[in-house]
Structure formats: C-alpha cells, structure tokens
Amino acid sequence: MDQGQSQIAVMGVTGYAGAELARLLLGHPRLAGTPPLFLGREGSARESLTAIHPQLTGLSKDQLCIEPFSWELLAARWVKVLFLATPHEQSRKWAPEALSRGLRVIDLSGAWRLEDPANRAVYKFSDEGSATAAKTQAASVYGMPELHRDTIAKARLVANPGCYATTVILALKPLVAAGWVDVKRGIICDAKSGVSGAGKEPTAKTHFMYAADNLSAYGLFGHRHTGELLEQLDVAADAITFTPHLLPIPRGILATIYVTFLERHTAGEVEACLRAFYAESPMVRIHAAGQLPQIQHVVRTNFCDLGFQLAPDGRRCIVISCLDNLLKGAAGQAVQNLNVMSGWDETEGLL
C-alpha cells in the first residue's frame, strides 16, 4: 500500500468527539505513516484539519485536509474501516451503504445501538421498520469490549455505546450478572456530565451563562441512553431510574449508583466480584473498598474507574463510576473497538 493511501477513514471530524478521534488515530502506533482519511460533507469544500483543530498540529508529517465525502474516494484510498462520528440519521443512511461496499463500520452515534424497537422509538428514526434497517441492525454489535469482546472482533458494524450508558453499565454489570442485585427494590442511577457531552453545537442550556455556576437535571424518564441500560443489563424499565445532570465543567462523567443486594455481602466479596469480572479488561480500574473515584483522575484518559461503599448491613451498596465522556465514553472506546476488530492489543494508542 502506498504511503498516500489509507485503510482508515473518519466521517465527522469537526465536533468534540471527532477531534479526539482524530488525535488518537494520528498517534496510533499501528497507523504510523498512513494517516486516516478525514471526510466532510458531500460536496463540501476541502479544508485544513489543523485550521479547525489547531491542537492537532504536528501529529502528522503530512498536511492533512478534510476531504469532501464520496464513496469513490474511499474506494480509491483502499479504506477498510470507516468511523462515523455523525448524527444518528446520517449514520442510518451511510452504515448500510458502507456494509454493502464491504467496509467495516464503527459508528459513534446512537443509530444502531438498540435491539428493541420500543427502546429505539426515542430516536424517531425515519427508516424504522424498513428491510434495510432491520438487516443492518441484525449485523450490529454493541461496542463495549468488556462485555462483547469476542463478537466485536468479528463484527462488520460496531455501535459505539453512549457515554452515560458506558459509565452505568460498567458499574452494574458484574453485580447484576452475579445475581446479587434485588432489582425489585429498584436501582437508582444519578449521573452528572460535563458540558461537552451535549456536543459542539451551542444551545440555550449549554451557553456559559446557563451552565456556569449551575447544576441541572434533564432527560428524566426519557434519556436516549436508558434503552442501552435496559438491554445490556437485561432489566425491566421499572427496575432502574436514571437521571442525568449537567455539570459546569468541560468534560467527564461521575455516576452514583444505589443498589440493594438480595443477601448480605462483605466489602471483600464486592471488590472480588468486580475484579474477577474485569480481570481481562485493562481499561477498567477497580478501587479498593471505600476508595471512591473522581473525575479529575480519569479525564483525558480511556479508563473507567469503579469504586464502592458498602453499608454496615451488607446489603445496601453505593457504586461510583467515572470516565471521560469524550474518550472512554466516545472516541477512546471507538479506538478500543478498532483494536479489537483488528486483532491488536486492546490498549494500543490509548495509554
């Protein structure tokens, strides 16, 4: 393959997650000498990548540009893997086409994450119920390596999880899978995210005058990531209450999760359960009992940190989960999925 050719392409590089994805791929040891092909809208003007993201200056010896999207360009550059950091409706359109052309796709949007039509309804997809959408959904694998590593390795379409969903699922899955959690008592998830989680497009609620010196709840009983929790944890909708909040910080998520166990357990048993579940998962760090994670310790990393405190009764447990919403919650997890799909070490380009 010529040095000017690429096997990786990224569609949608202007946003926060897209910029982080570009940074990680440009520094990835397996891609040295073959920078990704960065793509803009169909028919758009060619523009300098570093003019939009000056922080990427110097990461490549080439003068990188964002090229107008075309399928012909992808074929000419021998692209084999396409990242879609695009709005979900765009991903609904392009993922099926990419698969039909033999590409493997890692989609950062919510387009293909949900199996249950009832959970997908929150997105109001215009193609819902079509044969193409059904076929594409059947090919999709939920892109959380800690849960689906073997399936991701062979997947043609990987649906990168949502940032809140990643935070909560990683905290709860070991305990729910062990059969310890009394789901009839209900699970409470109180999660708080930095403003970058809302995306780059400004809104009234992400405006500095609204977000600064403020803390606000939103998306109650209707946040798009709720369906991911239900499907990946295999719990009923009335078993979990998820409330997201907007923190006046740029990035990072902290989730405080309240569960009740069916039987009494010791702190040692809880810690052992978490450590055993993630023994082969290098991107999840388990804190000792009583040592609680903080956003400042995970920001700008691809780690998810888990900690807990057990009540004296041995049944009530509070689990704390922290990650960077733009990395483990988006671009970093996408690169982690690329590594798994390519048969590379899961941590390459991420440490």
Q: Where does residue 282 fall: left (phi above 0), alpha (psi -120 to 50 degrees), or beta otherwise? A: alpha
304 catalytic? Reply is no
Residue 124 in tokens: 């109001």
Q: Which of 221, 227, 216, 223 is nearest to 241 (CA)?
A: 221
What single string gives the DSSP state of each residue in 17-59?
HHHHHHHHHHT-GGGTTSPPEEEE-TTPPPEEHHHH-GGGTTS
8 Å CB contact between 341 and 153: yes
Q: What is 194-221 written as a DSSP string?
A: -GGGG-SS--TTTSHHHHTT--EE--TT
Question: 339: which 2 tokens?
Answer: 């590594």
Q: What's the per-residue H, E or C state across 298-339?
A: CCCCCCEEEEEEECCCCCEEEEEEEECCCHHHHHHHHHHHHH
CA 181 to chain centre: 25
Select which of 163, 189, 304, 317 is catalytic: 163
Name 190's bridge partners. Answer: 243, 256
Tokens found for residue 96: 């099926």
Angle at 29 between CA 28 and CA 31, to 5 degrees: 70
Structure token digits, residue 295: 């956003």
Strand partners, 81: 8, 104
- CA triple 307-311-317, angle to 5 deg: 45
Spatial distance between the Cα atoms of 290 and 152, rounded to a whole number of angstroms = 34
Active-site amino acid positions = 163
